[in-house]
Chains A and B, each alone.
Chain A
Amino acid sequence: MTNDTVLGDEVLAMAKDLVAKIEAGENEEAHAVLDEMTKVRESLLYQEIGKLTRELHTSLSSFRVDTHITDLAEKDIPDARERLRYVVSMTDEAANKTLTAVEESLPLCDSLGNRVGEISESWQRLLRREMSADEFRALSKTLASYLASSTTDVNTVKSNLNEVLMAQGFQDLTGQIIHRVIDLVEDVENNLVGLIKVAGQKVDAPTYIADEKAETTPTGPPVPGVDDSGRVSGQDEVDDLLSSLGF
């Protein structure tokens, strides 16, 4: 708008000058004024075109970066968070399913074992002919009930073992999900490196900032290849370290 006003004032002045020159019959001067008017117009036009081109270029390049970053921030990261939450709930479910099956099976195994022990004791007495007729009748009854219940119990244990077997399917599923999240993290890393490059900083290689504030802040299970330094490799090393401290 300012340009328009400037253009208007300047051109109006020139136009008046042009009319005056023509009326005075100064043809050459009139041509010069006309040329001048055209130049003013062209230079303003080129300036505008130049500005528009620059803006277009900037928006196009930032748009390209922005959509990717925006996608990552708005969609992929929350997506990954959900995936990881799902992994937690899946592993929780599998562990509980397994534990329930084991908790149910162990007492059954105990009772099967105990009853076999009792029966085999009586059986030995029978073989040594130390058993009265009454005791033998009792043994027969015990045997019959044992045979009936052991079939049921063994079937229950077997179905619980199958339950445990099936629950282990979480490993495959969570593994796949975690691999997808790893890919996403790599993508985010590459984009951040790209952004830093665009911002004009020299980036040689991604460097990892140590995430451990204090030496004894809990960090959870160490991941092999990432959290190796300063850690013991297992129970034996813990025991060695403690015994070196006088334990």
Chain B
Amino acid sequence: MNKDMRILIVDDFSTMRRIIKNLLRDLGFNNTEEADDGSTALPMLQKGGFDFLITDWNMPGMAGIELLKHVRADPNLSKLPVLMVTAEQKREQIIEAAEAGVNGYVVKPFTAQVLQEKIDKIFERVSG
């Protein structure tokens, strides 16, 4: 796995972005950027250069699920690995995210170990 890959962290709570950023740094990923909702994140993604998207679901403006759908609908971004990290845990929601093409789904509160496992799994599959 390329530790220099550029990661976009999207969450409306700055504390959660900091937690994820610190966990990623601990895992060796230092190349991270942040956005506070889908409508801020999408133009950043469309500019290009991101290798991985980690997004919350419940955000004002554009929610994470909408962001995921936009990403999958964009020919330049459709292959971008997306990990959803969210407190939303209804079965219907998880199924909707899966159908929309999410690569991993982590429910809050989560541990550093779970985050690492999901990231490892996503990139095993992407590279494999």
Please list the residues of chain A having a beta carbon within 8 angstroms of any beta carbon in chain B: 92, 95-96, 99, 102-103, 106, 215-216, 218-222, 230-232, 234-235, 238, 241-242, 245, 247
Given contacts A99-B15, A222-B87, 14 further A-B contacts (CB under 8 A): A95-B15, A96-B14, A106-B22, A215-B92, A216-B96, A218-B93, A220-B87, A230-B92, A238-B105, A238-B107, A242-B94, A242-B98, A245-B98, A247-B98
B residues near A, CB below 8 A?
Answer: 14-15, 18-19, 22, 26, 57-58, 63, 65, 86-96, 98, 105-108, 110, 114
Contact of A241 with B22 in the complex, beta carbons under 8 Å: no
Residues of B within 8 A of A222 (CB): 87, 89
Taking CB atoms, residues of chain A closer than 8 Å to B19 are 95, 99
Contacting residues, chain B, for A218 (C-beta < 8 A): 57-58, 63, 86, 88, 93
Residues of A within 8 A of B95 (CB): 241, 245
With a cutoff of 8 Å between Cβ atoms, the chain A residues found around residue B14 in the complex are 92, 96
Q: Is the CB of B110 within 8 A of A221?
A: no
Q: How far is the CA of A241 from the CA of B102 in the complex (A)?
A: 14
A235 touches B107 (CB 8 A): yes
Known: A102-B22, A221-B108, A245-B95. A231 touches B15 (CB 8 A): no
| Residue of A with least CB distance to B114 | A235
A92 close to B105 (CB less than 8 A): no
The reply to whether B92 and A242 contact each other, CB–CB distance below 8 Å, is no
Q: How far is the CA of A215 from the CA of B99 in the complex (A)?
A: 15
Nearest 9 CB-CB pairs, A to B?
Answer: A218-B58, A95-B15, A221-B87, A215-B92, A99-B18, A216-B96, A216-B93, A231-B89, A232-B89
